[in-house]
Amino acid sequence: MQQPLYELRGLTVRHVAAGRAAALEQIDLRLAAGEQVAVIGPSGAGKTTLLSTLACNHRPAAGVFSAFGTDPWALDNRTRHQLRARLFLAPQTPPLPPRQRVVTAVLAARLPQWSLWRAAASLFKPADPEAAFRALARFNLGDKLYSRVDRLSGGERQRCALARMLLSEAQVLLVDEPLSALDPALSQLTLTTLQQEAARRQAALVCSLHQVDLALAHFPRIVAMKQGRIAFDLPRAQVTDAMIAELYRDEMPPANAPQTEPPAIVAGATCL
Ligand SMILES: Nc1ncnc2c1ncn2[C@@H]1O[C@H](COP(=O)(O)OP(=O)(O)O)[C@@H](O)[C@H]1O
Ligand SMILES: [Mg+2]
């Protein structure tokens, strides 16, 4: 593997409000530029925490964490902020200002590239509405260009955040459950658009997904999480139905998960 974008070794992450309980434990993960990875696992497994840790939002409690060849938590705040501009996290519920127009929310991705004057002016008159329209149209949302953010459905808000991601210059695209509110056709469109964009800019794409069938159909590498640990990290061809059944054993099967359970064991895989 080439020089990794990320290297995590023995990583532990705790949420402040959760006391001593760790949300992530003993995480080992390497991720190279251009890789496309799906993160799967039951609710509470740690998928969201892993994505926001990769976004440098959680200071690890223990272990090694390196992003872009450096430890972000050894940097001063300003330098860490500059490093964060090289990645983009699209949370499941994007914190977009509710009264803002979609066009302004999407163009906010360009703020780090603009002067203060241009950024302030764009609040009154959007600087490049055509670019915002093109990004929205790729997610079938072109007609919402001048809608207010609080008039969008949950799924539209999330795609609005993904359109914003297209206008960023991020080299790491971190996307948390982008399909939760989408029908099958829009789910396909959304994943295909994200993957094409990641490939075009040779960015790494890490996408948490509840839909196991789509994860396996679209992503060459599958990272499965359970109870804060990595249950397996494998090329999709090595993921068996039995592993998926074991992963989701304690919860209802996820949407469209394979129902068969052949007891196949794959060498090198650890399945909790
Ligand atoms: N802000 C938070 N404060 C305290 N505990 C949290 C917080 N966010 C998540 N957790 C806990 O961390 C664990 C992992 O959660 P999360 O990363 O959201 O899992 P997933 O995305 O797989 O559902 C869970 O036990 C969850 O309850
Ligand atoms: Mg989550």
Q: What does the pLDDT look like over 12-46, one tens digit per residue?
A: 999 987 677 899 999 999 999 999 999 999 999 99
The secondary structure of 15-41, three-state, reads: CHHHCCCEEEEEEEEEECCCCEEEEEC
Q: What is the pLDDT of residues 127-161, one digit of tens each?
A: 788 999 999 999 999 999 999 999 998 889 989 99
Neighbour count for residue 91 (Cβ, 10 Å): 17
Please tell me which residue, 110 or 145, carries the higher pLDDT value.
145
Cα–Cα distance for residue pair 172/55, rounded to 1 Å: 9
Give the per-residue pLDDT at 93: 84
Q: Which tokens sit at 263?
A: 């007891």
CATH level 3 topology of 1-86+171-272: Rossmann fold (3.40.50)
Give the per-residue pLDDT at 96: 80
Res. 260 pLDDT band, cuts 50 70 90: very low
Give the per-residue pLDDT at 267: 35
Residue 143 C-alpha to ligand 1 middle, in angstroms? Answer: 35
Residue 250 has pLDDT above 90, yes or no: no
Q: Looking at the CA of 248, which ligand is closest? A: 1
Residue 91 C-alpha to ligand 2 middle, in angstroms? Answer: 9
Pocket lined around ligand 1, Cβ cut-off 6 Å? 15, 17-18, 23, 41, 43-49
DSSP string, 43-79: TTSSHHHHHHHHTT-S--SEEEEEETTB-GGGS-HHH
Using alpha carbons, list the distances in angstroms from residue 119 to 33, 63, 113, 123, 127.
30, 39, 9, 7, 9
User: Under DSSP, is residue 127 helix (H, G, I), strand (E, B) or coil?
Assistant: coil
Neighbour count for residue 190 (Cβ, 10 Å): 23
Please tell me which residue, 82 or 251, carries the higher pLDDT value.
82
Q: What is the pLDDT of residues 60-109, one digit of tens each?
A: 999 999 999 999 999 999 899 888 889 999 998 888 888 889 999 999 88
Residue 13 C-alpha to ligand 1 middle, in angstroms? Answer: 10
Res. 180 pLDDT band, cuts 50 70 90: confident
Q: Tell me, what amino acid is at 178?
A: P
CA of 41, closest atom in ligand 1: 22
Q: Looking at the CA of 44, which ligand is closest? A: 1
Q: Looking at the CA of 24, which ligand is closest? A: 1
Q: What is the pLDDT of residues 50-62, one digit of tens each?
A: 999 999 999 999 9
Cα–Cα distance for residue pair 40/127, rounded to 1 Å: 38
Give the per-residue pLDDT at 146: 94
Best mutation site among 12, 14, 15 for ligand 1 pocket (most ligand atoms within 8 Å of CB): 15
pLDDT over 90 for what percent of the chain?
Answer: 67
Residue 226 has pLDDT above 70, yes or no: yes
Q: Which tokens sit at 225?
A: 């999480």
Best mutation site among 43, 48, 206 for ligand 1 pocket (most ligand atoms within 8 Å of CB): 48
Residues 77-87, buried b or exposed e (16+ Cβ, 10 A)?
Answer: eeebeeebebb
Q: Where is 163: in which H helix or E strand?
A: helix 154-167
Least confident of 29-38, 111-120, 263-272: 263-272
In the chain, where does the domain assigned CATH 3.40.50.300 lie?
Answer: 1-86+171-272
Give the per-residue pLDDT at 113: 64
CB 103 within 8 A of CB 146: yes
For ligand 1, atom 16, the nearest C-alpha belongs to: 46
Mean pLDDT (whole number) for 185-206: 95
Cα–Cα distance for residue pair 95/164, rounded to 1 Å: 12
Best mutation site among 12, 27, 49, 207 for ligand 1 pocket (most ligand atoms within 8 Å of CB): 49
